[in-house]
A and B are shown apart, each in its own frame.
Chain A
């Protein structure tokens, strides 16, 4: 069974839950930016939660199916259509051999996850099927899909329940006024107390430079630095450090002006200071933010970060329970 890509959309890539273990060599985790939506899409079609799916950004692809399959679309509200007939999101539906899956215009969110029963069966590279386009690694030929590509689909392991649906309350997304929770740290001491306070007070807007590597924000007030003599090897700008590793979710602020939150295809290190890290539970939400959308950052401590992580895990368990029942 294969999927024939008639139109690729804006940037559609094969993603699973990522490729851990190579970050020390500069190969990032990759995988779905919204891992919650990715897992839910897989569960809806009877796949394992970490099977490979398609991640479509802003604009959906057009796909002709080579055989009957169960499909689910989660994450962004990007309405799926089968031969032109609209289907619900967060809900399993059938696509028959020869039918075409296409998408209407994006209503909210940024990234839709398209799971197909059996999973996208591109070769496993370094333990994952995820695409890392910058390194031309994994996925389909190491790149975003193009018209004319044919994607293999794996063997169905579990029969999907027709019309299975994730309950509304469990469809996790950033909502209308997103708040990203941050654990301050790393080089937090480099900015003044006043600048730190303002960072969390200000409303920021997602900049057009927002992709799988990182999300840039603008519109808040610039950060003031605590004066120091720059350490040897760091470089002369007060925002420079001796090149270090970058955590996923870390917030670097080159020149103290525009914060960048690194995401699943993060550069693994570099020479800009970081003021803290978005907590693991909120990383999914960033992947659903559109350019020009407003967002705020909120400081939390470690117990709050761990509690949020547990809440997210519990929600996913509830999705599993709802679909099993």
Chain B
């Protein structure tokens, strides 16, 4: 890993921990942002961790940009040695794959896609070497995903598939971004999965939709009353394929305030995961579904 620092105008410092994505880069970025938060450097106004990088916004009237840069660099060595375990949570997210709403949308924007003759799922399955959409969906829903960034729009999680790199699903983004994406679309671009928290523009391939809201500015939904945004970096997600009936029932449960997402506390160790991803995932799923 080769850490690179650059000023983003006179109010930001951008720190690229690594050019390529890996969980090691994510953990180093996370520990550096934690260190920045704990060191309470004067003039820091926003601390934004990303997948393999992070960004600090600061007030140059309170701290000179070069001093800010020196402060960040001084934190790097300690962060590299930081413990890469996380007390976090695993959440089950129901997904209605191949649903009519994302299907209608992807047909509407077909001329912006690499392969206008099929659907995004057909395309994703084919270029990732799956025989059919069913086996592709089984792979997508088969392993847990690691939330490595929250952003783009309010509360949108970027998720990194927790399998060996050779098995990770990768797809390009649309040739030209769509101007519309249904709210709660489960998407994929590069190696990252995402859930669109709000309706709007988007460039990720669309695979399905979840009935579980993850952003509620009115804070009326039971599990979003304390804060309007559900996800934070470090969360672990497991998708559960559901059919139309299950989807409709879940939407109704959300509306009536009865929807209760399955969430369990869990400890994640990067070293354990690197040593044996399959066994680590099996343990995570045991916690999720276990007694």
Contacts and interface: CB of A to CB of B under 8 A. Distances in A.
A237 B173 CA distance: 9
B46 to A, nearest CB: 5
Given A244-B16, A271-B190, A309 B10 contact: yes
Interface string A216-255: 0000000000000001111111001111110111100000
A23 B48 contact: yes
B282 to A, nearest CB: 25
B95 interface: no
A269 interface: yes
B21 A242 contact: yes
Interface stretch (A74-82, A134-142, A198-206): A134-142
Interface-central residue, A27, A278, A279, by most chain B CB under 10 Å = A27
Interface residues of A, number: 51
Residue in A20, A23, A276, A313 whose Cβ sees the most chain B Cβ within 10 Å: A23
B137 interface: no
B163 interface: no
A306 B59 CA distance: 11
Most buried by A among B14, B22, B155: B14
Given A136-B217, A231-B21, A232-B21, A247 B65 contact: no
A85 interface: no
A108 B59 CA distance: 31
A305 B10 contact: yes
A26 B197 contact: yes
Given A233-B190, A269-B152, A242 B65 contact: no
B189 A235 contact: yes
15 contacts: A20-B46, A20-B57, A26-B156, A183-B9, A232-B165, A232-B191, A233-B20, A234-B20, A236-B172, A242-B20, A245-B55, A249-B11, A270-B152, A277-B9, A302-B65
Given A23-B151, A137-B217, A137-B228, 20 more contacts: A25-B155, A134-B200, A135-B153, A135-B217, A136-B217, A186-B14, A231-B20, A233-B21, A233-B160, A234-B20, A242-B18, A242-B21, A243-B158, A243-B192, A247-B55, A267-B152, A268-B151, A276-B9, A279-B10, A306-B65
Interface of B: 6-12, 14, 16, 18-22, 45-55, 57, 60-61, 65-66, 149-156, 158, 160, 165, 170, 172-173, 189-192, 197-198, 200, 215, 217, 228-229, 232
